Structure 1
Amino acid sequence: MTVERATILLAPMEGLLDFVLRDILTRVGGIDRCVSEFIRITDQLLPERVFTRIVPELHNGGRTFAGVPVRAQLLGSDPVCLAENAARLAALGPAGIDLNFGCPANVVNRHGGGAALLNEPETILAIVTAVRRAVPAHMPVSAKMRLGYSDDSRALECALAIADGGADEMVVHARTKAQAYRPPAYWERIGDIRAVVDIPVVANGEIWTVEDAQRCREVSGCDMLMIGRGAVTDPGLGLAIKASMRDPAAASMQAGINWPMLVPLLADFWHIVCTRLDKKSRAGRLKQWLNFLRRRFPEAETAYQALKTINDTDLIDEWLSGLMRERPFMHPCPGSGHTETSRLLNSFVCESV
């Protein structure tokens, strides 16, 4: 299997992997496409501003500022209403429309959305069919599903419903709603799904490292992988996976990015958060990301401990400025979306992949 055939997708994660992190993580490289967090559809046609608020990349040709395509995800259970909203969304120019049949949140499932639809493959078929008919033929329609709700007994039915409805691609999170995010992920069941559908299948779930990616590809048979928490924890994971596909020995090297390269990205992340989010949410967003990063970077543990009780944005500004002064070879250009990091990362990508 060659690197040219491999595709790495960045997962949608409500409350975590929003447009801010999509911007930052796609600057690093290794990500071929993103899916937005879900846009919830109930019983009305949403105004355009709702779509652009959740997916501001619609103002940039449906791409992140690094140029990575973003598919916008819809969640709901009414085929007609979903189709009407998909048509309006399509007119705004996303890189595609994605449908959510996997969200495990109880508040979503109680209203018949997300993973709850895995008990109703006939509704899944109706939704995909309606949305496919509502959007232009050239625009991709994809879907993300789990293996089932309480168990995986209807996994193949649901996958066939997605394919028969006209979807161009599906992502399979290799756990049921009942299994939530507890390891392991059952990648072998993705292989079972691949055997019965005739559209591309993307494997998702428990891909934290290069070794996980290699095992997932072997077990599922998928060339295409979706990474979520693994990419938030290690922003260089996509680069490292691609490097290992070309040179398996790179797996032991954990090729990706190091802490000095990550520091300017943290500064850029903070700048975007302070520019785009309300004041009371800012400190929490930075600490949320540091909490993930400390699983991979010892320096992030130190940073998290230093900031965990601080909510004053001025104090966080001072702390980040001090951190940047320790690395004078990288200077962010506030507000531009382009930093000296970009040049260093571009050079790194050429060397690593």
Structure 2
Amino acid sequence: MSRILLAPLEGLADPLLRNVLTAVGGYDWGICEFVRVSNNVLPEKTFQRICPELLNGSRTESGTPMRVQLLGSDPELMAANARRLVTLDPAGVDINFGCPAPTVVRHRGGSALLGEPELLQRIVAAVRAEVPVHIPFTAKMRLGIDDTSLAVACAQALQAGGIDELIVHARTRVDGYRPPARWEWIARIRENIDIPIIANGEVWTVDDYNACRAATACADIMLGRGAVADPLLAQRIRGHDLGGWAAVVPCVAAYWQGVRCKVLPEHAGGRIKQWLALVRRNYPEAGLLHDRLRPVKEADDIDALLLAEGILRERPLVA
């Protein structure tokens, strides 16, 4: 049976949105935003802040397992933090070799390491030594920094380091998020390693999902921005017709309720506007709502507008 997985999306798929998306259903598991490992062993509360699912059996409120992703370049520090992390019983441990963000790259993290296959292997091997065999251990990589010349070598290094499965985002760091994704390179990598590969990149629709599986020969697909832009996508892929905008409205209401409980009022509006800016790709109604919300600054005024639009049935609870 094909698995559908929720990607780690820094600054986008936060715990609140993960709860909303997984409540709709269709996901086998997901990965949280990365935990940055720099110069010390992080306290338990840091892991729990970034992945609050750890306080709920490493699952979202609806029960979807959520794995924890580490990002760093020092094998010993990564191993030491993995040792701390596994005491919290995560649903899985993942290592980030794919983030293209300039701040991450400047500090030799994420995709910046894809020019050094030997270092990738050392990091993974060090973490593998700390992760018990009953905890799934994966890595997520891109195809390279500015070309794909080391894509296969990096994948082979990660396999040699001891990961159980490899997630491949079919772009280089320089590609950023520009289409198209290079799905054919996932197929090449798959032919040269023995562990399962999960394909990721540019899957926005059911047709994209089918095309990605055909091009990569991968059974399992990880959804990223496509999942955020269409909260119903995973269920659509599974053949369930949940309807259109009317089925998304409860998601918007649930997300705003979560934001109002967890986010300072002055920052709350930005969160829902950011999400609707992506959702409008699939639902014109989201674009209209986004346009109405754009000039509204105060959280209380957003409450009132969402009530008037029929998104909310009552004013949200505020912490």
**Scaled by the length of structure 2, what TM-score is found?**
0.96
1:23–1:66 CA contact under 8 A, matched in 2: yes
Q: Deviations over 1:72-105 (max 9, x none)?
A: 0000000110111111111112110000001111
Q: What residue in structure 1 maps to residue 183 of structure 2?
A: 187
1:148–1:175 Cα contact (<8 Å) kept: yes
**Equivalent in the alignment of 1:16:** 12
1:27 aligns with 2:29: no
Q: Name the counterpart of 2:206.
A: 210
Q: What amino acid maps onto 1:166 in structure 2?
A: G
The amino acid across from 2:255 in the alignment is F
2:170 corresponds to which of 140, 156, 174: 174
Q: Which residue of 2 aligns with 1:142?
A: 138
Q: Which amino acid aligns with 1:169?
A: E
Q: Does 1:291 align with 2:277?
A: yes
Residue in 1 that maps onto 2:83? 87
Residues 121, 266 of structure 1: CA spacing in aligned structure 2 closer, same or farther, 3 A cutoff?
same
Return the match for 2:246 from 257, 260, 268. 260
SS in 2 for 1:94: coil
> Displacement, 1:332?
8.1
Q: Is the 1:149–1:177 Cα contact (8 Å) retained in structure 2?
A: yes
* AA matched with 1:230: G
Aligned ranges for residues 1-353 of structure 1 at < 5 Å?
A: 5-243=1-239, 255-324=241-310
2:183 & 2:190 partners in 1: Cα distance?
11
In structure 2, the partner of 1:350 is none
- Indicate if the aligned counterparts of 1:267 and 1:332 stay in contact, CA closer than 8 A: no
Quote how far apart the aligned CAs of 1:232 are. 0.8
CA distance in 2, matches of 1:257, 1:105: 35
Residues 220 and 298 of structure 1: is their aligned pair in 2 closer, same or farther, counting only changes over 3 Å? same
SS of the residue aligned with 1:31? coil
State the alpha-carbon separation in 1 of the partners of residues 103 and 308 from structure 2. Answer: 42
2:131 & 2:237 partners in 1: Cα distance? 34
Distance 1:78 1:306 in 2: 47
Aligned partners of 1:277, 1:162: CA distance in 2, in Å? Answer: 38
Residues 301-345 of structure 1: per-residue CA shift (max 9 Å, x gap): 1101110011111111112222337x9xxx68967xxxxxxxxxx
**TM-superposed deviation, 1:125:** 0.2
Distance 1:164 1:222 in 2: 20
Corresponding residue SS for 1:134: coil
Stretches of 4+ aligned residues off by more than 3 angstroms: 331-335
Aligned residue-pair number: 317
Corresponding position of 1:246: none
How many angstroms does 1:111 deviate by? Answer: 1.3
2:222 partner letter: M
Indicate if the aligned counterparts of 1:41 and 1:74 stay in contact, CA closer than 8 A. yes
Measure, in 2, the Cα distance between the counterparts of 1:296 and 1:233: 7
The answer to whether the 8 Å contact 1:147/1:174 transfers is: yes
Unaligned runs of 5+ in 1: 244-249, 336-353
- What is the root-mean-square deviation in Å for CA atoms of aligned residues? 1.5
Any idea what SS the aligned residue of 1:12 has? Answer: coil
1:278 CA drift (Å)? 2.0
Aligned equivalents of 1:118, 1:167: Cα separation in 2: 16
Q: Percent identity between the aligned chains?
A: 50
The CA distance in 2 between the partners of 1:332 and 1:89, in whole Å, is 40
CA distance in 2, matches of 1:42, 1:299: 43
Structure 2 gaps of 5+ residues are none
Q: Does structure 2 retain, via aligned residues, the 8 Å contact 1:283–1:311?
A: yes
CA displacement 1:11-57 (0-9 Å, x = unmatched):
11111011111000001111111111111000100011111111000
Note the C-alpha offset of 1:275: 0.9
Normalised to the residue count of structure 1, the TM-score between the two structures is 0.87
Structure-2 change in CA distance of 1:75 and 1:47 (3 Å): same
Contact 2:7 2:224 in 1 (8 A): yes
Structure 1 residue matching 2:162: 3-state secondary structure: coil
